[in-house]
């Protein structure tokens, strides 16, 4: 059975429009609760399943949190509420507290007008497709509240931030610290605003926090991992040694060196991989995606690290890591998975793995990536109407075939629909920047024409 509501990263959309309405979210909580009640695992018959609900800093989080809580408790599931917490923190706490599931109310890097719901299993990993399909199957049924004696309870847990801060610090070696390092951290006015600065400070760094004053509306607004100019400017202004930029829910990472130069997910994964090869920590190879820069693949080959590509989306990177028994993977966008440290992508933990490499070797980001040539890559997001399929547009395929023939093996073309927005992402990569730009714009024009019926 296909999934109607769940995309590559849960359920997401514009607040107030289906499916991100309080009515739907309450029904989603009820349906998920029914699945948990039906699959109680080792719980005794008189004990309620319990879920954790965290959220980012969007104004709509209050409304959706209340709706989700009502749905779960109506199904007989207890709820623990954390308030604003990063997505990877919810994954960690769900596992650490031995709960049946975790829920994050967040639209990640999207603007505040959007929001979404994503689930974690009891092991702190994203739900398998089969469980998401079981939840969707129950969305067609009406809500039938359990008898009053079986209703779930809800309470807030006050020590969630402190627990997660300690967890993040534990991913950095005890023998090292960050003393003498001035670091700018951009929290994107999101869920890490009260977490990331403390982690770095407690490890000894001098911390300059920006994007740490959320007001419900400014999440990801010209800041964070998707808008890195703010980080670059702040690093230069404060004469910092490094910069760390996270997104609204804390699972993406970009970094900057002392000059303000930005390093993306491909480059940071390479830093971690190279350090682990040097120190003997590397297990297996690296999983990237269709969007991973070809230069990264070539650089990893030079240090004899196997590399494979998964579909775009951290859940698909995770699937391939598990299938191969590997621990390191990531996306250009800054989703980095270090499965020897966490069950899911975590911006703070990933930053600490890069800092570990730099502190232990004494090298800079520039030096660590000196033998990594990033090939020119252009990505154009083409808005489309919902329902448009590339398979039904042979004219686009013809344009792509002509350009691939012209590239003659010296580059790559990737067209894919966004998993979270009504967009077709057009990516062209090659050694000649001018040729790459021209090719990407030609393909984007073809997609626009096809999407508009031209």
Catalytic machinery residues: 108
Cα within 13 Å of Cα(223), Cβ side: 24
Angstrom distance (rounded) from CA 354 to CA 83: 29
Judge whether 64 and 27 are in contact, CB under 8 Å.
Answer: no
Residue 311, Cα to own-chain centre: how many angstroms? 14
Q: Which residues contact 196 (CB under 8 A, 6 or more apart)?
A: 185, 187, 209, 244, 246, 250, 347, 348
Question: How many CB atoms within 10 Å of residue 345?
Answer: 29
Cα four-point dihedral sign 121, 53, 81, 66: negative
Q: How far apart, in whole angstroms, are the C-alpha atoms of residue 171 and residue 200?
A: 12
CA 213, 214, 220, 226 torsion-angle sign? positive
Angle (deg, nearest 10), helices 347-361 and 160-170: 30
Comparing CA positions, the residue from 278, 239, 287, 276 lying closest to residue 259 is 239
Whole-angstrom distance, CA of residue 184 vs CA of residue 119: 31
277-295: burial string, b at 16+ Cβ within 10 Å, e else: eeeeebeebbbbbbbbbbb
């Amino acid at each position: 059975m296909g999934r109607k509501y769940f995309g590559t990263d849960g359920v997401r959309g514009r607040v107030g429009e289906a499916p991100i309405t309080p009515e739907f979210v309450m029904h989603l909580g009820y349906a998920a609760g029914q699945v948990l009640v039906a699959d109680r695992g080792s719980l005794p018959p008189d004990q309620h399943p319990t879920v954790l609900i965290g959220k980012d800093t969007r104004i709509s989080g209050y409304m959706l949190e209340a709706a989700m809580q009502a749905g779960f408790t109506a199904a007989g599931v207890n709820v623990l509420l954390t308030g604003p917490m990063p997505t990877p923190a919810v994954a960690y706490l769900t596992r650490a507290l031995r709960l049946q599931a975790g829920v994050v109310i967040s639209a990640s890097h999207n603007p505040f007008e959007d929001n979404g719901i994503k689930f974690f299993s009891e092991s702190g990993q994203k739900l398998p497709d089969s469980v998401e399909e079981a939840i969707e199957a129950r969305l067609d049924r009406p809500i039938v509240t359990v008898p009053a004696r079986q209703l779930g309870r809800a309470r807030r847990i006050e020590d969630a931030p402190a627990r997660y801060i300690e967890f993040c610090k534990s991913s950095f070696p005890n023998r090292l610290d960050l003393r003498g390092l001035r670091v700018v951290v951009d929290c994107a006015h999101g869920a890490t605003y009260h977490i990331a600065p403390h982690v770095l400070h407690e490890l000894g760094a001098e911390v300059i926090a920006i994007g740490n004053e959320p007001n419900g509306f400014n999440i990801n607004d010209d800041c964070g991992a998707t808008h890195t100019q703010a980080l670059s400017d702040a690093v230069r202004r404060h004469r910092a040694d490094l910069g760390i930029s996270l997104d609204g829910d804390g699972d993406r990472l970009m970094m900057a060196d002392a000059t303000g130069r930005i390093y993306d997910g491909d480059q940071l994964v390479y830093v971690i991989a190279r350090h682990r090869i040097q120190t003997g920590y590397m297990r297996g190879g690296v999983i990237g995606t269709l969007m991973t820069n070809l230069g990264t693949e070539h650089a990893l080959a030079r240090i004899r690290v196997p590399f494979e590509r998964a579909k775009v989306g951290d859940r698909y990177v995770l699937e391939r890591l598990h299938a191969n028994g590997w621990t390191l993977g990531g996306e250009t966008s800054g989703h980095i998975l270090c499965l020897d440290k966490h069950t899911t992508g975590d911006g703070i933990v990933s930053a600490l793995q890069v800092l570990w490499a730099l502190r232990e070797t004494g090298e800079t980001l520039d030096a660590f990536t000196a033998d990594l040539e990033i090939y020119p890559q252009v990505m154009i997001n083409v808005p489309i109407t919902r329902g448009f399929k590339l398979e039904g547009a042979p004219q686009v395929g013809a344009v792509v075939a002509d350009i691939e023939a012209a590239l003659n093996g010296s580059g790559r073309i990737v067209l894919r629909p966004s998993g979270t927005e009504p967009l077709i992402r057009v990516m062209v990569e090659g050694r000649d920047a001018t040729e790459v730009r021209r090719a990407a714009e030609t393909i984007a024009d073809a997609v626009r024409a096809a999407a508009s019926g031209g």
